[in-house]
Amino acid sequence: MTHLSQTATWSATWTQRPLARAAQRIGFEPAGINYFVEKVNPAWSLLQLRATVVAVREETHDSKSFVLKPNMHWQGISAGQHVGVNVEINGVIHKRRYSLSRAEATDADAAKTIQITVKRVDGGLVSNYLHDHISEGDVIGLEAADGDFVLPAEVPSKLLVLTAGSGITPVFSQVATLLNEGYQGDIEFVHYVRTEVDRIFGEQLEALAARHSNLSVQWCYSEGERSEHFSAEQIAQRVADYQERHALLCGPAGFMEAVREHWSDIDRNDALAFEYFGAPPVDATDAINASITLKTGKQIHLNAGETLLDSMLANGERPKYGCKRGVCHECKCRKTSGAVKNLLTGKVTAGEEDIQLCISAPVSDVTLG
């Protein structure tokens, strides 16, 4: 349910009541009632989806989990999906999306809270604000759950999980959900991370593996005596029958591109489900230096390999954006001329159209309206 429909539905219910009609005559509208309700407790908003932070837990030296209790507008979330988080920083609302990072709710009490896990990003405005300023009892804005990276209705009997860095969060949620629901298939979980201290959900995963004999967890460290990175040879050594398994993939763009390229080489694209954390990289064959003309007439230079959003931010512009992976549409704007490639679909389009800055790479000079 969207914000507008929530408002309209509540307003219709309110105005159908005799007392409400009388209140309206003296100036009490739903928005006015909501103003006073929010003064008592911001999470009680009658019109907006919000959540109270009920717990904050350190996962690693640079990642924290936030347990949130949404208000009455919450419609639920599935393992693998993400939820929008809105925080006010210096008077400006900033929006980002974070994956559910625990098993789906299995009972009414558990359904009252959700968990997201946020890794601190160097220079990241929202991630650093959440780490440094958000604590138990605070209220933050939410947006409804979204995303197609969900478990199929019929889960294959043999799974391979390939994750790297904070890409572990949505897939950990999926695996935990499957095991909670009594999944009897075989799961090989292979996670790529810098060092042992960087393992998000390290203890939780090992505890799950100790309780469930059908889950095997392997850690591949990129730093240390035995540096290990994904390759065809490496994954074959780790999981001999990996080509027979349905794979779940999430992580940084470079890691994912290497995995996807290999799955294409072995003709197993139909057995690979994935979600990017951030936009896919610009293909080297498409990467060009380009000029972007903004609505104000200002021109900025885009370096080969950058998206329109990357270039605008690097040049000191402040366009609206949220997820940076083509999901939330916060960065949608009008392109009045030029051609761009959609990094998610691979489609090249030209002329006047609406585009998303975060997943658009120019293949010519571009003018934005």
Is the domain of 236 the same as that of 176?
A: yes
Q: What percent of the chain has pLDDT over 70?
A: 85
As a whole number, mean pLDDT of residues 86-96 equals: 89
Instruction: Give the CATH number, domain containing residue 138.
Output: 2.40.30.10
Q: Are 252 and 329 within one domain? A: no
Q: What is the pLDDT of residue 219?
A: 97
What pLDDT does residue 2 have?
A: 27
Query: Would you state the pLDDT for residue 1?
Result: 26
Residue 190 lies in a domain: yes
Provide the whole-model pTM.
0.74
Distance CA 341, CA 181 (A): 41
Domain boundary among 276, 308, 327: 276
For residue range 108-117, list pLDDT tens digits in order: 555 589 999 9
Q: Is pLDDT above 50 for 14?
A: no
Mean pLDDT of the chain: 86
In the numeric block, which tokens belong to residue 92? 């400006």
Which of 218, 241, 276 corresponds to the end of one domain?
A: 276
| 12 and 111 assigned to the same domain | no
- Count of structural domains within the chain: 4
Question: Does a structural domain hold residue 153?
Answer: no
Residue 245 included in any domain: yes
Q: Could you tell me if residue 105 is inside a domain? A: yes
pLDDT digits (tens, 9 = 90+) for 120-139: 999 889 999 999 999 999 99
Residue located via tokens 């460290």: 221
Give the model confidence (pLDDT) of 148-204 as tens digits.
899 988 999 999 999 999 999 999 999 999 999 999 999 999 999 999 999 999 999
* Final residue belonging to a domain, choices 96, 114, 146: 146
**Residue in this structure with the two tokens 């994912």, named with its chain if needed:** 256
- Does residue 68 carry a pLDDT above 80? yes
167 and 272 in a common domain = yes
Q: Examine the domain organization and report whether 180 and 257 are in the same domain.
A: yes
pLDDT(60) > 80:
yes
291-335 residue pLDDT tens: 999 999 999 999 888 899 989 988 889 888 887 877 788 899 999
Residues 205 and 266 in one domain: yes
* The dihedral sign for the CA sequence 120, 123, 129, 133: positive
User: pLDDT at position 73, please?
Assistant: 83
71 and 101 inside one domain: yes
| CATH code of 364's domain | 3.10.20.30
Q: What is the CA radius of gyration of the chain?
A: 23
CATH of residue 234: 3.40.50.80
Domain presence at residue 151: no
Amino acid 30: pLDDT? 54
- My answer on whether 228 and 314 are in the same domain is no
CA distance 100 to 122: 22
* Per-residue model confidence (pLDDT) at position 107: 63
> Do 306 and 337 reside in the same domain of the chain?
yes
Q: Per the domain annotation, does 74 fall within a domain?
A: yes
Please tell me whether residues 140 and 102 are part of one structural domain: yes
Does 173 reside within a domain? yes
Interval 250-280: pLDDT, tens: 998 889 989 999 999 999 999 999 987 766 7
27 and 91 co-located in one domain: no
Q: Are 125 and 154 in contact (CB under 8 A)?
A: no
Q: Would you say residue 31 has pLDDT above 60?
A: no
Indicate the pLDDT class of residue 72, thresholds 50, 70 and 90: confident
Same domain, 162 and 254: yes
Assess whether pLDDT exceeds 90 at residue 40.
no
pLDDT, mean of residues 41-63: 84
Domain that holds residue 362: 290-368
Give me the pLDDT at residue 109, please.
55
d(CA 149, CA 81): 6
Say whether pLDDT at 365 is over 90.
Answer: yes
What CA–CA distance (Å, rounded) separates 189 from 214?
11
Instruction: Supply the pLDDT for residue 110.
Output: 54
